[in-house]
Structure 1
Amino acid sequence: MRKLTFAMNMSLDGYIAAPGDNLDWSVPSDELFQWWSDRVGRTGQALYGRRLWETMSSHWPTAGKQPDATPATIEYAGRWRDMPKVVFSSTTTTVDWNTRLVTGDAVTEITRLKAEDGGPMDIGGATLAAAAMRAGLIDEYVTVTHPVLVGGGTPFFTALDNWVNLSLVETRTFPDEVLLTRYEAKR
């Protein structure tokens, strides 16, 4: 079975976006940006909800071609374009950049994808990840916690019907007092 990981930047009070979808608080250091880039390079497939897809696809396909693009930006943009992606949406009609669109039941499709052979999968987008979380499909949670309280917005975690017991497998501190924690779900 393929491993499914939910990994996102998070404020200390548990939000992946502040009110108004503001992400200004989560600008990564060079070291953290490289960590995210290396992660994308190792990901066998990324699963996106519509809103995160719209954010990523509006920037990364051309980010590496901008006049001010750094070598790190060029590298990440290429990795992102090349990475196989699945977008789950009932309103999106077209996708590009090595991406497939799924309009049906997300939990059914994620279950099918996990049963396939292949590399690890990442899931992103609060609504999509919440559905997978409630269905018990997430194998690993990675929080990259920034030392800021945003007071509201889009939460990382959703309400659950049952507890999910976790084992801590990694911690790492990045510049700007950003803390990575990685947990595996106990099965």
Structure 2
Amino acid sequence: MRKLIYGMNVSLDGYTAAPGGDLGWSVPSDELFQYWSDRVAATELALYGRKLWDAMSPHWPFVAQRPDTTPAEAEFGRRWVDMPKVVFSSTLTEVGWNSRLVTGDPVAEITRLKAEDGGPMDIGGATLAATAMRAGLVDEYVLATAPVVLGGGTPFFTALDSWVDLTLVETRTFPEGVVLTRYEKRR
């Protein structure tokens, strides 16, 4: 059975994006960027919601063509393109870059994917992750908490019918005061 991991940069008050989708507050240090890049390399399958797909797909496949691209960004772009992805959307008609589109019930598809043999799956996009959380499908949470308070925006966590007991399995401090915490769901 595969493990489903939800991880993102998050503000101290729990938001993944400021109002209007602004991500300017979450530019990672080189060390944190490398952490996320290494996670992409270790991920067997990534699950994306449409909004996150719309943010990532126009950028990462082409980043190496920009003259100001760093070697780390080029590496992340290659890893991102090579990583198999499933995009959940009721509005898209096609996706590219080693991806397939699912237009049906995300809970049914994520449940099916989790039941397969294989390595870890990452889930990205707050809306899709909220659906998986409410269904009890997320096994691990990774929060890279930045020292900024946004006061609103897109929350990392969704409202749930009952609490989820977690065990802290890792903490790490990155430059600029970002603290990474990783939790696994208690069995």
TM-score (norm 2): 0.99
> Does 1:73 pair with 2:73?
yes
Secondary structure of the residue aligned to 1:64 is helix
Q: SS in structure 1 opposite 2:137?
A: coil
Aligned to 1:138: 138
Provide Cα deviations, 1:127-148, integer angstroms capped at 9, x if missing partner. 1000000000000000000000
In structure 2, what is the equivalent of residue 159 of structure 1? 159
In the TM superposition, what whole-angstrom CA distance separates every residue of 1:137-160 from its partner, at most 9, and x where no partner exists?
Answer: 000000000000011000000000
Q: Displacement of 1:117 after TM fit?
A: 1.2
- Aligned residues with identical type, % of pairs: 73
Residue range with higher mean Cα deviation, 61-70 or 107-116:
61-70
> Unmatched 5+ residue regions in structure 1?
none
> 1:43 deviation in Å?
0.3
Aligned to 1:101: 101
4+ residue runs of structure 1 moved beyond 2 angstroms?
A: none
CA distance in 1, matches of 2:166, 2:183: 6
Match of 1:46 in 2: 46
The aligned runs of 1:105-184 (5 Å cut-off) are 105-184=105-184
Query: AA paired with 1:62?
Result: F
Q: Which moved more, 1:61-70 or 1:170-179?
A: 61-70
CA-CA distance at 1:174 after TM superposition? 0.1
2:32 corresponding residue in structure 1:
32
2:63 corresponding residue in structure 1: 63
- How far off is 1:118 after superposition? 1.3
Per the TM alignment, residue 103 of structure 1 is displaced from its structure 2 partner at its CA by 0.3
Return the alpha-carbon distance in structure 2 between the equivalents of residues 67 and 14 of structure 1: 35
CA distance in 1, matches of 2:74, 2:57: 15
- Aligned-partner Cα distance in 1 for 2:166–2:19: 29
Counterpart position of 2:90: 90
Report the AA paired with residue 118 of structure 2. Answer: G
**In structure 2, distance between residues paired with 1:64 and 1:105:** 35
The one-letter code matched in structure 2 to 1:9 is N
Output the CA distance in 1 between the equivalents of 2:61 and 2:71: 15
- Superposed CA RMSD in Å reads 0.5
Task: Measure how far apart 1:65 and its partner are.
Answer: 1.7
